[in-house]
Structure 1
Amino acid sequence: MTIELPKEARQQAIASIERYFEENMEQRIGNIAAGALLGFFLEEVGPSIYNQAVADAQERLQMRVTELDIEVHEDEFQYWRKYDKKGKGR
C-alpha cells in the first residue's frame, strides 16, 4: 500500500525538510531533493508507522468493546421493583 499525502501536506512536509537541513545540517537541500527524501521515507518507513497506528487503534477499539457491557448495561426485570418501592413507603 502506497502512503500518499494530500498536496498541501506534502508541500508543508517538503518545506519542513528544507528547514531542517538548513537549521540542523548547516546545508541547503533543494525542493526536488527534499521531495525525493520525503518519498523515500513514505515508502520505506511510512508503512511501519501506519501499521503501528492501526495496531494502536485496534487496541483502543478492543478496550472500548470490552467495556461496552459495563457502559451500556441495563438491569433486567425492573418493572415490579418500582411498584415494590412505592408499596414499602405507605
Structure 2
Amino acid sequence: MTIELDKQVRTTAIASIQRYFDQNMEEPIGNVAAGGLLAFFVEEIGPAIYNQAVADVQERLQLRLSEIDLEVHEEEFAYWRKYDQASKGRR
C-alpha cells in the first residue's frame, strides 16, 4: 500500500522541514529539496511507522474483543431467579 499525504499535510510538512533546517542546520533547504526529502522519508520510513501503527491498532482491538463478552453478557434464564429472590425477601 502506497502512503500518500494530502496536499495540505504535505505543504505543512515541507514548511516544517524548512523551519527545522533554518533553526538546526548551517544552510537552509529550499522548497523543492524539502519536498524531495519528505518524499524520501515517506517512501523509506513511512511504511515502518504505518506497520507499527497497524500492529498497535490490532493489539488494541484484540484486547477490546477479548473483553466484549464481559461488557455485553446477559444472564441466561434469569426470569425465575428474580422472582425467587423477591419471594425469599418477603418471608
TM-score grouping bracket, smaller chain normalisation: over 0.9
Amino acid corresponding to residue 50 of structure 1 in structure 2: Y
Which residue does the alignment assign to 2:56?
Answer: 56
Aligned Cα root-mean-square deviation (Å): 0.9
Confirm whether residue 77 of structure 1 aligns to residue 80 of structure 2.
no
| TM-score normalised according to structure 1 size | 0.95
Q: Provide the residue aligned with 1:67 in structure 2.
A: 67
Deviation at 1:87, TM superposition (A): 1.2
Q: Aligned partner of 1:6: which letter?
A: D
Distance in structure 2 (CA, Å) of the matches to 1:49 and 1:82: 53
Question: Paired residue for 2:4?
Answer: 4
Give unmatched runs, 5+ long, in structure 2: none
The equivalent residue for 2:28 is 28
Distance in 1 between residues matched to 2:41 and 2:2, nearest whole Å = 11
Runs of 4+ aligned residues of structure 1 deviating over 3 Å after TM superposition are none
What percentage of aligned pairs have identical amino acids? Answer: 70
Partner amino acid, structure 1, of 2:53: A
In the alignment of these two chains, the number of paired residues is 90
The residue aligned with 1:43 is 43
